[in-house]
Amino acid sequence: MKIWQTLLNLILPPRCIKCGKILSVKNGLCAECFSKITFISEPMCHHCGIPFNDAVNIKFNTVQYCGKCLQKKKFLFELQRSAFIYNDESKDLILDLKFRDKTAAAEILANLLYTAGSDIWKEQPDILMPVPIHHKRLMQRRYNQSALLCRYLVHKTGIDADYTSLQRCRNTIPQVQLSGAARRNNLKHAFTAVKPQNIRGKKIVLIDDVATTGSTLNECAKVLHKAGAAAIYSLTLARTQK
Ligand SMILES: [Zn+2]
Ligand SMILES: [Zn+2]
């Protein structure tokens, strides 16, 4: 087995998924690219997962909440987690996966998701669910990047995935082309729960590549709550820093 891996590495050496540099071990990112990505780690808001930049007055190893979450009474998500900040240094990782067919990186990115989701796995969710894309877009792109990540996460977590119960029934304008209120309007009635019997009473982890305003994930969560989901968690590769 090992000899085949060695031979394979000679023919197809592992490369950095960001810059393409040849790596000695298949760990995804070269040291330089790794150091440029802003990974999210403690201290962060236990609920929404936003990292606390202001290190003053921050206590480690205690559950803490951001000002926004402390004020809120009702939440769409039990927990929200992301692996890294979406910025100029990290956006290529997302765009390559989404539009440039570089799906080989999906396994490595799913490992980052797995690490970022550690607090979610402790809650023992029932199913993983990728944010669906419309079937017309699926035909153009040939794959749903979130479903791809989900597939690797099934192996890592042992939790089943459900790819069909939540569907995108309207082919909306890509969210990146819109802002604020237009984003929310664009997504109205975009998703439906086609098999509510698979959703009722379940603790569901919604998987997506990036959370910008969060409108897409929020819309999915509303539909899932309406269908009777017991709890919803959001897990994305990246999030924007507000
Ligand atoms: Zn690199
Ligand atoms: Zn928060």
Element (H, E) at 138: helix 135-141
Q: Give the number of C-alpha atoms closer than 13 A to the C-alpha of residue 176, restricted to the C-beta side.
A: 5
- For ligand 1, the distance from its centroid to the CA atom of residue 34, given in whole angstroms, is 7
For residues 138 and 196, which has the higher predicted lDDT (pLDDT)? 196
Q: Which range, of 6-10, 71-75, 141-145, averages the lowest pLDDT? A: 6-10
Q: What average pLDDT score do residues 72-76 get?
A: 87
Peptide bond just before 174 cis, omega within 30 deg:
no
Ligand nearest to the CA of 46: 2
- Each residue's pLDDT tens digit, 86-132: 999 999 888 888 777 677 788 899 999 999 999 999 999 999 999 99
Tell me the average pLDDT of the chain: 88
- Each residue's pLDDT tens digit, 216-235: 999 999 999 999 999 999 99
- Each residue's pLDDT tens digit, 149-171: 999 999 999 999 999 999 998 77
- For ligand 1, the distance from its centroid to the CA atom of residue 23, given in whole angstroms, is 9
- For ligand 2, the distance from its centroid to the CA atom of residue 17, given in whole angstroms, is 31
Taking Cα atoms as reference points, which of 144, 147, 81 lies closest to residue 114?
81
Taking Cα atoms as reference points, which of 182, 162, 181, 163 lies closest to residue 172?
182
**Rounded to whole angstroms, what are the CA distances from 36 to 15, 86, 140?**
17, 12, 32
- For ligand 2, the distance from its centroid to the CA atom of residue 70, given in whole angstroms, is 7
Ligand nearest to the CA of 31: 1
Q: With bands split at pLDDT 50, 70 and 90, how would you rate the model's confidence at 239?
A: very high
Alpha-carbon distance 113 to 199, whole Å?
23
Alpha-carbon distance 92 to 32, whole Å?
15
Whether the per-residue pLDDT at 56 is higher than 60: the answer is no
List of residues 6+ apart from 44 with CB closer than 8 A: 50, 51, 52
Which of these CATH numbers, 3.40.50.2020, 3.40.980.10, 3.40.50.1370, 3.20.20.140, describes 74-239? 3.40.50.2020
Taking Cα atoms as reference points, which of 105, 104, 109, 175 lies closest to residue 137?
175
Ligand nearest to the CA of 51: 2
Return the domain boundaries, the chain: 1-36, 74-239
- For ligand 2, the distance from its centroid to the CA atom of residue 99, given in whole angstroms, is 31
- The model carries a pTM of 0.89
